[in-house]
Copies of this chain bind each other. A is one copy, B any other.
Amino acid sequence: MYLFEAEIIEKWQLAADIFRLRLRAGEEFIAAGRPGRFVMLAPVGGLYDPLLRRPFGIVRCGDGWFEVVIKAVGKGSRNLVGLPAGAGITVHGPLGNGWPQDESGEQPLILVAGGIGIAAIAPVIFARRAESETFLLYGAATKDELVLLDEFTTHDGRGPQIEVITDDGSCGRRGLVTELLLEKLEEYPGARVFACGPEPMLKGVQKVLRERDIEGWEGWLSLENRMACGFGVCLGCVQKTGSEPETKTSKVCTEGPVFAAGEVIFDD
């Protein structure tokens, strides 16, 4: 776990309210930043509004840098994406468990992203490009909110097979990403599933997986509960987990954000 001040090396606008920020970081940080882990960010400056850090996934790492993709939804995210290149951000991380590592790389992998959930899914794609049978099912409200798509495929054509779906039909089919998942699982019943997106989508994914009824489910969900600290001390981010009657509360920041899909108990 590191806590440091990082310069914004570069900033790109990916959609009306979605930005990619490249931040300077050291080797050790980058080595620890495996797919699915996250950072807590705050601008440098000593002002108290916004007060708390905000969590964002580590989307991509390179030599001396890593990238986050931030959707401006409220004051914390808006403030971060409003910083110019050259400005400083304090970084706390990498935090959380990350996606389970695929030792063999041989099992087909279905990645399900809803909206800005793509930020948690993207690093898996970048890490797995060399391997076969990765499917990205990517849903968004509308065409303009689909981001990073052109980066998922390398120049020589390696990358996941991508299917897109939008609420308004402006790109791909019209509908919900869970429909794509159902179809894909029929084709690849033994595939592993990683999903990140808004809670209703995750509930949908859980339902699909539950109905698949395979021992262990082979599905993982990355949660985005509100966090105050990000490292296990505030107990603000807890999620009910387990299965009735054996339930408990788990800290999403340290025991997650990635949970086995069968473990998560959503509120109705």
Contact = CB atoms under 8 A, between A and B. Distances in A.
Interface in A56-102: 75, 79, 82, 84
Interface string A39-51: 0000001111110
A82 B44 CA distance: 11
Copies in the complex: 2
Interface in A93-125: none
Interface of A: 45-50, 75, 79, 82, 84
B49 A82 contact: no
Contact of A48 (B45, B49, B82, B84): B49
A82 B82 CA distance: 13
B82 A84 contact: no
A136 to B, nearest CB: 36
A169 B82 CA distance: 44
B49 A47 contact: yes
A79 B84 CA distance: 15
Contacts of A48: 49
Nearest to A49: B49
A45 B84 contact: no
Contact of A47 (B46, B47, B84): B47
Nearest to A50: B47
Shortest Cβ-Cβ A-B pairs, 4 listed = A49-B49, A47-B49, A48-B49, A84-B84
